[in-house]
Amino acid sequence: MPAAGQRDGVRACRQVGYHGGVNSQQDFFASTSLRHTPNRFAPERVYRLRKEGEAVFLGELVDHQEADATPGWEQACVYVAILNAAGEIYIQHRATTKRLWPDRKTISASGHVDPGETFEQAAVREVQEELGIELDPLALHLVGWFMGLAHSGPVYEARSHRTPTPNPDELTVAQSGFLPVLQLERMLADPNLFTPSGRRALQVWLGANRRSGAR
């Protein structure tokens, strides 16, 4: 398969974003129950990622706890890089109360695709929940995708003039903020600073950033 973020994979993932949702109305109503976590109401069911050729799609809805416990199951998530007017990227430092990978850095916003959502809808929701920024879905630019981790999926970029109002239940505000790209590249040399999926998402974003010649 092409490296994550190459053109064919990006085109495939964009197609999924607009058409990948629940398989039927019955699936939607059967899957909207939520369970409470210390940080937010999480869906009891999550999507698995499905790959056909060089395209990725939202697959079947499965029990969230079963997905967590089953090696090799890739849960469908979204990853969003928020850039300011200076071209700096917002790096999130996850709260110490997070169930998975607490006290680690990650991309600006990320999370599961909830039942009934497309990739783009999930991306807009996660940015609003974690950073308090309301994005127009048209502001999202798909830069790539990745698989091979328990939490995998598309990576988006969005530029915003709005100042983030971070949710302290989701991230440690004092340790989060905008960073120049060169500083991020140096930090990524230490894998222990980041969540595995956050680090992979940032590598996908950086690869697209280099190919576009942006700095």
CA angle 79, 158, 10 (to 5 degrees): 60
CB contact burial 143-152 (16+ within 10 A = b; e otherwise): bbbbeebbbb
Domain count, the chain: 1
**What does each C-alpha distance from 156 to 69, 106, 159 come to in angstroms?**
28, 14, 10
**What does each C-alpha distance from 98 to 109, 112, 172 come to in angstroms?**
14, 14, 10
pTM of the entire structure?
0.82
Identify the pLDDT of residue 115: 95
Evaluate whether residue 38 is within a structural domain: yes
Identify the pLDDT of residue 36: 41
**Low-confidence residues in the chain, pLDDT < 50:** 1-39, 215
Beta strands 55-63; 34-36: pairing state: unpaired
Beta strands 151-159; 75-83: pairing state: parallel
Evaluate whether residue 81 is within a structural domain: yes
Q: How many residues does the chain have?
A: 215
Q: Give the residue from 98, 188, 189, 87 showing the smallest Cα distance to 151.
A: 98
Evaluate whether residue 2 is within a structural domain: no
Quote the domain boundaries for residue 164: 7-212
- State the CATH number of the domain containing residue 81: 3.90.79.10
Evaluate whether residue 136 is within a structural domain: yes
Q: How far apart are CA 109 and CA 17, in angstroms?
A: 17
Identify the pLDDT of residue 214: 57
Residue type, 86: A
Identify the pLDDT of residue 31: 36
Residue with tokens 């850095």: 105
Identify the pLDDT of residue 146: 94
Count CB-CB contacts under 10 A for residue 10: 21
Helices (H) and strands (E) in the chain, counts: 6, 11
Evaluate whether residue 94 is within a structural domain: yes
**With the C-alpha atoms ordered 19, 25, 30, 35, is the resulting torsion angle positive or negative?**
positive
